[in-house]
Structure 1
Amino acid sequence: MKVLHINAGLENGGGLSHIINLLTEAKLSGQDFELLTLAEGPVDKAAREAGITTYCLGAQSRYDLASLKKLTAFINEHHYDLVHTHGARANLFLSLIHHKLQAKWCITVHSDPYLDFAGRGFLGKIFTKLNLRALKKADCVFAVTQRFAKLITDQVGVKPERVHVIYNGIFFHDDSEIPAKYEHMYFNIVNVARTEKIKGQELLLKALKKIDDSHIRLYIAGDGSQLEPLKALARQFDLSPQVTFHGFMTQKQLKNLYRRMNLAVLTSYSESFPLVLLEASDNQIPILSTDVGDIHMMIPDDQHGFIAKTGDVDSIASQLKKAIAMPTAELEAMGVREKKYVASHFSIKNQLTEILKVYRNLLK
């Protein structure tokens, strides 16, 4: 079974991790998976560094439809059995040529397709419709949460038998591989997310203002259009001494930052199945999230983490207070307990096994 995964190539967050982790595990398992990016960028760079067979189409712009003929020829001449797209641009390109392909076509929906182009005006509405149309044309759709699966069947109109829920996974490390924690005098919180409105960092800043505890330190690791407005909001709330904006951080930099964190927090308005929380948990950091995606699958009860109401500053502040008030040993035990749980349920090996089952059924 020869499989080609396709992505625009410009991902630089959870989408990139999802693709690289999956293809790395496929390589370790002896699967014939390859990657094609539409343009050069972080994805093909990371894939090559991981030793994944990678090609670049060399599209000249974000919507270089002139390259469709080249893409069609590439897929057919390499005799792929199945093509698997990730992201709205890759979905769009495949939707325009799928009738010319010999391969079956799968899509992974990483985010809410109705929000992918939110705030981009008239063009955003057009691209949203094109992406939704692509979902209905594909032979199979992978949804990374039950909520997305329901949305895809009930609102987009994809036939239920074509939709499969497979949760994201990561490579978990043995506890002996996790660096020892640094001693520190504050209660340190980390938020790893793009600084975009959908990630809700302004809610986190408002919750900190509400708590009014000078013992708290917040570290925001992420870049985006809201970085400067968030810095201005921190100044407005007189929180600047307590909040550090790191911008984008590499995995190596994050691992070092995790060594002095007490809690990892995600206050998004919408998420799929956030890899950043799995990664924090891998480092034995307790996690707090708003009630997004299928977060209850990741945090099954209050012994494994904290869940706040989405978009609710009071709820976020309340859950933060619970974590801060918890004795250090008890909070650390929660982090250990959560890692054991997620490592047994959401490994990248489990994810690949489930995807391969669907592939094989599709090719029968």
Structure 2
Amino acid sequence: MKVVNINAGQETGGALTHLIFMAQVLKEHNIDNVLLVFEEGTISKAARELGLAYKVINQKNTSEWINYLNENNFDLVQTHGPRANFLVTLHRKNIHVPHIVTVHSDPRYDFLGGGIKGNIQSKLNVWSLKHSDGLFVVSSELKDELTKLGINSNRIVQINNAMTFSNDVRPKENHQFMQMIIVARLHPVKEHARLIKALSEVKNDHIFLNIVGDGELRESLEQLVDQYELNHQVEFYGALKSSEINELYRKMDLALIVSKSEGFPLVFLEAANNAVPVLMTELSATHLVIPDEEHGIAVDNSLEGIKSGIEKAYSFGIEQLSEMGLKNRKYAIDHFGPESFYKQMKNGYDLFSKKENL
């Protein structure tokens, strides 16, 4: 089996983590895989550092990258991200290899807040998905949403996100008051503003919110914190390296995932790896990652739901949240490790590499 995974090349956060993890898992199982990117950036840098096969071809050199796909005996072309999805689909007639797309989130919300340009980009991405040979999705609910867009369910395979977990949990730093963390780009779909408003309505000076990530909403969110007089409770860290985020998790009691829409959040896995429980609104993967009340806090996807979830977490106390975090970690290790991920990927590859299944 020989696969080429294509991406624009400048991913950060969960997308970067997923692509590199996937490449490592495929390499460990002797799947011949190349990361093809359209520009030097985070993906090529990480691939070099880890000894992963990669190639950089400028997207404007259309004939060069199309020839590369056709002349290297690939069994599958797999794309990640709207730009790669669109470019491969646009030139599909000239590419003689089956094309599959990995879909991490509801495409209707990927360009939320982007105005007319965002609306056009969203429609082009959905068009790309409809014209691919197959789709990998990260939750059953996301599969349902794509079928509503007119995509045949037989062309959709669910593959849960996963990660390689550390052998041990580093000891937590002692702290007196409840510390919450949200790790997400500052984008409308992540609902930071609603979270800040919910915290303001909780009216508890002993609950602190740590916001990790950057984006176009940074200034407006800082103004919102000022408006609600929460400067003593909310801290913005900007974008951090993975090592810095893991260090921050050592003093966290609760991770927050409160998006408008989400596929299978890698933030859940990162929190679980650090034995931090998750408060998560009703999203496509909520019941998959929080099977019951012992493993996390699932709440209604609303302002009131988030508010009540924070209050519930506070009522548990730091010690009970710590116990919940350990259960969360064990559950994640049992269900979302690299071996499970590889088996799902291999089954999907075998299915879509057979022309009679396309």
Structure 1 residue 347: deviation in Å?
1.5
Name 2:163's counterpart in structure 1: 170
Q: Confirm or deny: 8 A CA contact 1:7 1:85 kept in the other structure.
A: yes
Structure 1 residue 162: deviation in Å?
0.7
Name 1:341's counterpart in structure 2: 331
- Deviation digits for residues 279-303 of structure 1, max 9, x if unmatched? 1111001110111122110001111
- State how 1:83-232 maps to structure 2 within 5 Å: 83-155=77-149, 157-175=150-168, 178-232=169-223
- Deviation digits for residues 256-314 of structure 1, max 9, x if unmatched? 1011111111211111110011111110011101111221100011111011211x222
The one-letter amino acid paired with 1:322 is: K
Structure 1 residue 102: deviation in Å?
2.4
Structure 1 residue 247: deviation in Å?
0.2
Name 2:308's counterpart in structure 1: 318
**Matches of 2:184 and 2:115, distance apart in 1:** 24
Of 293, 298, 308 in structure 2, the residue corresponding to residue 307 of structure 1 is 298
Structure 1 residue 207: deviation in Å?
1.4
Q: Confirm or deny: 8 A CA contact 1:37 1:55 kept in the other structure.
A: yes
Q: Confirm or deny: 8 A CA contact 1:143 1:165 kept in the other structure.
A: yes
Q: How many residues matched?
A: 354
Name 1:63's counterpart in structure 2: none
**Matches of 1:249 and 1:90, distance apart in 2:** 26
Cα RMSD, aligned residues only: 1.4
**Matches of 1:144 and 1:53, distance apart in 2:** 25
Structure 1 residue 13: deviation in Å?
1.7
- Deviation digits for residues 153-180 of structure 1, max 9, x if unmatched? 122x1221111111111111222xx221
1:290 aligns with 2:281: yes
Name 1:259's counterpart in structure 2: 250
Of 227, 236, 239 in structure 2, the residue corresponding to residue 245 of structure 1 is 236
**Matches of 2:118 and 2:210, distance apart in 1:** 32
**Matches of 1:160 and 1:282, distance apart in 2:** 33
Deviates more, 1:322-331 or 1:184-193: 322-331
Structure 1 residue 108: deviation in Å?
0.5
**Matches of 1:124 and 1:196, distance apart in 2:** 13
Name 2:262's counterpart in structure 1: 271
Of 351, 357, 360 in structure 1, the residue corresponding to residue 350 of structure 2 is 360
The one-letter amino acid paired with 1:120 is: G
Q: Confirm or deny: 8 A CA contact 1:16 1:43 kept in the other structure.
A: yes
Structure 1 residue 103: deviation in Å?
1.5
Structure 1 residue 140: deviation in Å?
0.9
Q: TM-score, normalised by structure 1?
A: 0.94
Q: Confirm or deny: 8 A CA contact 1:81 1:102 kept in the other structure.
A: no
| Distance change (3 Å), C-alpha of 1:129 and 1:314 | closer
- State how 1:49-60 maps to structure 2 within 5 Å: 49-59=49-59
Identity %: 36
Return structure 1 stretches of 4+ with deviation > 6 angstroms.
none
Q: Confirm or deny: 8 A CA contact 1:21 1:170 kept in the other structure.
A: yes
**Matches of 1:118 and 1:255, distance apart in 2:** 29
| Distance change (3 Å), C-alpha of 1:126 and 1:41 | same
**Matches of 1:191 and 1:332, distance apart in 2:** 17
Q: Confirm or deny: 8 A CA contact 2:279 2:299 kept in the other structure.
A: yes
Unmatched runs of 5 consecutive residues or more in structure 1 = 60-65
Q: Confirm or deny: 8 A CA contact 2:8 2:84 kept in the other structure.
A: yes
1:4 aligns with 2:1: no
Unmatched runs of 5 consecutive residues or more in structure 2 = none
**Matches of 2:53 and 2:173, distance apart in 1:** 39
What secondary structure is seen at the aligned counterpart in 1 of 2:73?
Answer: coil
**Matches of 1:327 and 1:245, distance apart in 2:** 24
**Matches of 1:119 and 1:150, distance apart in 2:** 24
Structure 1 residue 350: deviation in Å?
1.1
What secondary structure is seen at the aligned counterpart in 2 of 1:285?
Answer: coil
Q: Confirm or deny: 8 A CA contact 1:291 1:307 kept in the other structure.
A: yes
What secondary structure is seen at the aligned counterpart in 2 of 1:284?
Answer: coil
Q: Confirm or deny: 8 A CA contact 2:112 2:189 kept in the other structure.
A: no
Q: Confirm or deny: 8 A CA contact 1:68 1:93 kept in the other structure.
A: no
Structure 1 residue 151: deviation in Å?
1.5
The one-letter amino acid paired with 2:129 is: L
Structure 1 residue 39: deviation in Å?
1.5
The one-letter amino acid paired with 2:283 is: V
